[in-house]
Structure 1
């Protein structure tokens, strides 16, 4: 079935705090094309040549021996950098799952010497099973980090900038579109928006807030704690993680220590809870890492999958605070960049 503007997956932009003022143009060096499961283009035109195509792991017409697989920096989790040039690079995102997915890829931009200049991310929303979304990034508009000259510049001189020339795939994260967090846009069918903020980390202590907004027409009753389920890279429940009620066993003063209470969340009102953990490693056991957490605001609520990147160390403890009222007039925390 041919995709229309209403059904075609959306490509959105998220970037790191260091590059908050930079604008990354998706079509700076070509046209974005969406392809269906059969590989036929769904939009007119194709990306303009960006530079040297990267090698692929497909067999040549005269040989059944495939080319060596691409390194992780060029291909990972259904994402592939397809061409790299001096001013832009092209990539494609494929959904290998059996349901629509929101897929976020974080690119690392490096200098010719290999130094990391910055990270930027692209998110494809509602990508159909087997479908591929193609895009490009204009490096002329990407952030630069000033070069350190051998001698300090004279008064009035500015340091030269280093343009990124070596893009790499840093990480790929995907959640089912039906469970994707929602911080804005149309109200979900459930009448509730749930999303995670950027969180904070210091001296091994991690704190991430979960925000709930009642954008529906009915009052929702919250009673105590949310249900949280840590998941591994394949979205499977992570065994060995102990879920704590509150964060006192991990650290105090994190905002996760309020006593549980019954809250009537009327339309337009908001609530929040806090996830707390430490990356503590001792001699015994294997580190417990869970990129995803499936959250239910109430036992019968629809699940929402957030990506707090839990690194629980070998202790494997995650504290979840009770729901508390939150002022929805406050500026909402941004959706985290992966």
Structure 2
């Protein structure tokens, strides 16, 4: 049972993506607004290789990629697109070391999970990797090795920090349901069996968290989050969009809370809007906890407040407001239970 978390009670964090193309400015904003659990901003506006798939594909070992009109595809050898992906991340890590090298609390980094990668990268002949079980195994093994090296690199650059690794798996529910389209779009790929999905995800989680290297979170901002599968794969926390958690998920969420798994709850809209009152932002979080019958005192310790998803589509002004609202919501929930 997970009862120890790297964050303090009343903590907020971001999900990952951020508008703009200046990594130093984005990181300074994150450190200022989310000092208890900052994260490494991802800046997809910089173009190919800075997006979710391309950024993580640059970590793959011996599996180079290139960009086709249809999207990312595996290559025979590294080329310009692989180099671009690695260059973006290298610059981000240099900025991280320069701006936040002395950070001495938890710090979160994000990579794409194996199932979402397999659903978005094509094999050399054009089919999605998800179609080929052998390709998925190779991809997961390569990703596990690359992510473990990435975590080690971040730990060297932030020697006093505790690393929190977020695996982004927005495509996992569709892979399980058999609704991922083929490359042509005319049919759907077969559903992935849950034990296979769990074991594949565990391959990456185990490699990243070996010897306590990282505390692992799986983020899934889609409907039908497979809570039990994610726990079985070794996730220490699960991040979801709170607005997509229906009452029908209550049993699964309740079992997750009861198991001691941390929850990152997306309670603030990720795109520009007029924010409701602080009380109105907190109420869905407290309402979920109250509905499930858990002690209010545990809420602020087990739950981290986040935006609903990545914020690449928001304005810089709204991002600051939203991150501040996440922080204020987390503190209010903590103070109310104290």
Q: Which TM class, normalised by the smaller chain length?
A: under 0.3
Q: Which has the larger radius of gyration?
A: 1
Instruction: Name the structure with the higher helix share.
Output: 2
Normalising by the residue count of structure 1, what TM-score does the alignment of the two structures yield? 0.28
Normalising by the residue count of structure 2, what TM-score does the alignment of the two structures yield? 0.28
